Structure 1
Amino acid sequence: MAGILDTVDQRTQLVGENRLEILMFRLAGRQMFAINVFKVQEVLHMPRLTLVPHRHPFVCGVIHLRGQTLPVIDLSRAIGMRPQEANERSTIIVTEYNRSVQAFLVSGVDRILNLNWESILPPPGGAGRQHYLTAITKVDEQLVEIIDVEKVLAEIVPYNATVSRERLDDPLLAAARGREVLLVDDSSVALAQLRETLSQLGLKMHVASDGLKALNMLKAWADSGERMTDKLLMMFTDAEMPEMDGYRLTTEVRNDPRLRDLYVVLHTSLSGSFNQAMVQKVGCDNFLSKFQPEGLVDVVLDRLRRDA
């Protein structure tokens, strides 16, 4: 299972087709969980684990892997289930999110599965681990819960949404005040960070929890006679979402003459090298890894310069 992400070319084949690949695994119990394969670097048995003082309760320790020191997170404990035992027989999934690499302790990996986003549904409301799910699906009549890893990581290392006063004093940002933007993301954590950062720029925000809802909003505005570049300054969209992903959303926007000039930013936790290829393939105007408040300002400035 190590090295399951071989090349960018292989990964780009799904883009624009509203499909994704998930890596299925179990934690402390029989329930099946999953994460997006695009975020997985490798799967392997636990190397030697080093305990560190004052570590977060969800962190088992650190490992040294190919010149990097990585935290090992007990994913079961992080989402409210019983802790797992960490030893040399344990399985870890090494992932990259938001330009950081970490390992998740799991009890075992099942398989990789290619799915259509239309078969991925939002999670039901409720308490417990439901708060840590970004979506659900069914595989062979078994429920598979897709974990909101961004929420897990944000609880271990809280994100920062503050923009420096020096950046906010840029005179060009005055043109952003009162303008409207559309935020498209299924992660409550990512939406909160976007809201907190962009509100400092005086922007007004519309929100959609998946690409299909966003596309319907855009078409409704267009049907009512709104000119999209006047209505919205820009749209920020996540890559992976239930119903319709951000790549398909961008493709649909570019194919609609009423929407095609909208400035679209791919705002995602996927790796930079991958998304540079995606931006070119589906026609986004820009891309930004999540949880970079100063980077969000740079993207807004880039959009404003086009009107200057």
Structure 2
Amino acid sequence: MNMMENKNLLDGVDARTRLAGSNQMEILLFSLGTRETFGINVFKVREVGRTPHITKTPNMPRGVEGLISLRGNVIPVLSLASYLDLEDPPAGLGKTMMVAEYSKRTLGFLVHEVDRIIRVDWEKVKAPESVLAANQGLITAVIELNGGHLVSILDVEQILANAFGEAVIVDIPPARVEEETSVFFVDDSIVARKKITEVLDKLGVKHKHATNGAEAWTRLQAIAAHAQQMGTPLRDEINLILVDAEMPEMDGYVLTKNIKSDARFEGVPVVMHSSLSSEANRAMGKSVGVDAYVAKFDAEVLADTLRPLVER
């Protein structure tokens, strides 16, 4: 099949925008030729089809097979099997390619075959435990399907960091903030949490964090309850909340809806920070009430977005 023949698999994006706030996601299942099943958020996949000719180029990072020309654009192609260190990959591995968009970067992922799209509740998406160590931190979540079959969701941000290096944080001027100014952020990616921390440190604001939406909502409720008990404004403890869109157990859209519907958080801005950088995803964020939407990962843009919201 060619790109256009299999592109129908990914139709219906407009319908999927209604998932915002439903705490559901759609996953495209695929394999790398082993018994394990992997998944990727449909919103990040532009198309799927047979792998075109790949031009080998010198000095490519490990796992980057080369470059292809796709509709006038030259994009890198990565072998996911290489990053997961698969032993004895099957014949024909890499004949199928997924074209994905992450953090305003378009790239191809070589896989064995694509299976189907499934819709799952985020509450069934769990953070990995033993899987994490087994795959060098490249698995960001695990889903258990009916019958006990496991699906591993790849941490593409970590894969991109491994392949192309982490984003360099340039000199960011500190914000004009009071000493107690604090930001609460939540992100399930280790790479993202590290980079967010660097930006906040350079801005000169204190920060707390959580690793998934459910944990964040539990902690935020506890902070709000404490402020209420002490009779102090919540903004004295949290000046801004920064949320990721995709997270195990509760996504950023539901988390934002919860925050915006709780009067205790009135006046506390919510910024969505996501590798889902399309206009459709921005519209989804707006529909649940985010005050700003920032695509990952541009440290300067993130800092420029946060600065006026935390300065007094």
Pair in the same fold by TM > 0.5: yes
TM-score by length of 1: 0.92
Structure 2: distance between partners of 1:61 and 1:193: 28
Q: Deviations over 1:135-192 (max 9, x none)?
A: 001123211111111100011112224232xx516xxx12265411111011101000
Alpha carbons 1:45, 1:88 under 8 Å: kept: no
| Identical counterparts, % of pairs | 38
Q: Which runs of 5+ in 1 are unaligned?
A: none
Instruction: Quote the offset at 1:98 in angstroms.
Output: 0.3
Structure 2: distance between partners of 1:260 and 1:161: 34
Map of 2:3 onto structure 1: none
Alpha carbons 1:176, 1:201 under 8 Å: kept: no
1:59-208 aligned at under 5 Å gives the runs: 59-82=64-87, 90-125=95-130, 126-129=132-135, 131-140=137-146, 141-164=148-171, 167-168=172-173, 173-175=175-177, 178-208=180-210
One-letter code of the match for 1:162?
A: I
SS at match of 1:2: helix
Cα RMSD for the two superposed structures: 2.0
Map of 1:53 onto structure 2: 58
Compared CA separation, residues 177 and 52, structure 1 to 2 (3 A): farther
Instruction: Quote the offset at 1:108 in angstroms.
Output: 0.5
Map of 2:217 onto structure 1: 215
Structure 2: distance between partners of 1:86 and 1:264: 48
Structure 2: distance between partners of 1:86 and 1:52: 23
SS at match of 2:264: coil
Q: Deviations over 1:71-106 (max 9, x none)?
A: 110001112224758979700010000000000000
SS at match of 2:214: helix
Map of 1:11 onto structure 2: 16
Compared CA separation, residues 274 and 22, structure 1 to 2 (3 A): same
Instruction: Quote the offset at 1:260 in angstroms.
Output: 3.6
Instruction: Quote the offset at 1:222 in angstroms.
Output: 1.4
Map of 1:227 onto structure 2: 233
Structure 1: distance between partners of 2:210 and 2:24: 20
Map of 2:7 onto structure 1: 2
